[in-house]
Amino acid sequence: MVSERGLQVLRAIVQDYVDTREPVGSKAIVERHAFGVSAATIRNDMALLEDEELIVAPHTSSGRVPTDKGYRVFVDHLAELRPLSPGQRAAIASFLDGSGDLDDVLVRTVRALTQLTGQVAIVQYPSFARANVTHVELVQLGGGRMLVIVVTDTGRVSQRLTFVGEDFDDADLARIRAGLGTLLVGRPVREGLQRIAERLEGPDAQAPAHERATDEIVRAVAEELEEFRQDKLVMAGSANLARRESDFRGSIYPLLEAIEEQVTLLRLMGEMVADEHGLSASIGRENDAFGLGEASVVASDYDATGSLARVGVLGPTRMDYPTNLATVRAVARYLTRMLEQDDSSR
Contacting residues toward its own copies, per CB under 8 A: 99, 101, 134-135, 137, 139, 141-145, 147, 149, 151, 155, 157, 159-161, 163, 236-239, 241-243, 245, 251-253, 255-257, 259-260, 345-346
Distance CA 19, CA 13 (A): 10
Q: Segment near DNA (CB under 7 A), from 22-30, 212-220, 236-244, 338-346?
A: 22-30
Instruction: Rule CB under 7 A: say whether 5 interacts with DNA.
Output: yes
Question: Exposure pattern of 15-31 as b/e (b: 16+ CB <10 Å)?
Answer: bbbbeeeebbbbebbbe
Comparison of 141 and 200: residue with beta carbon closer to its own copies: 141
Minimum CB distance to DNA, residue 250 (Å): 17
Comparison of 27 and 243: residue with beta carbon closer to DNA: 27
Instruction: Rule CB under 7 A: say whether 70 interacts with DNA.
Output: no
Instruction: Rule CB under 7 A: say whether 59 interacts with DNA.
Output: yes
Minimum CB distance to DNA, residue 296 (Å): 24
- Which H or E element spans position 121? strand 120-124
Q: Segment near DNA (CB under 7 A), from 55-63, 80-88, 154-162, 291-299?
A: 55-63
Distance CA 229, CA 232 (A): 9
Minimum CB distance to its own copies, residue 346 (Å): 5
**DSSP-assigned letter for residue 209:** G
Comparison of 37 and 256: residue with beta carbon closer to DNA: 37
Conformation bin of residue 131: beta by default, left when phi > 0, alpha when psi is -120 to 50: beta
CA 155 to each of CA 177, 226, 301: distance values in angstroms, whole numbers, following the listed order: 21, 16, 19
Comparison of 19 and 257: residue with beta carbon closer to its own copies: 257
Comparison of 39 and 157: residue with beta carbon closer to DNA: 39
Comparison of 38 and 182: residue with beta carbon closer to DNA: 38
Distance CA 295, CA 128 (A): 28
Instruction: Rule CB under 7 A: say whether 38 interacts with DNA.
Output: yes
Instruction: Rule CB under 7 A: say whether 20 interacts with DNA.
Output: no
Distance CA 97, CA 120 (A): 21
Secondary structure, 3-state, 24-68: ECHHHHHHHCCCCCCHHHHHHHHHHHHHCCCEECCCCCCCEEECH
- Which among 312, 178, 162 has a CA at the least distance from the CA of 235? 312
Among 25, 188, 192, 312, binds DNA (CB under 7 A): 25
Q: What residues contact 261, with CB distance under 8 A and at least 6 apart?
A: none
* Residue 237, contacted partner among DNA, its own copies, none, CB below 5-8 A by kind: its own copies
C-alpha 207: how far from its chain's center?
44
Comparison of 66 and 126: residue with beta carbon closer to DNA: 66
Instruction: Rule CB under 7 A: say whether 41 interacts with DNA.
Output: yes
- By CB under 7 A, name the binding residues for DNA: 5, 23-28, 36-41, 43-44, 46-47, 50, 57, 59-64
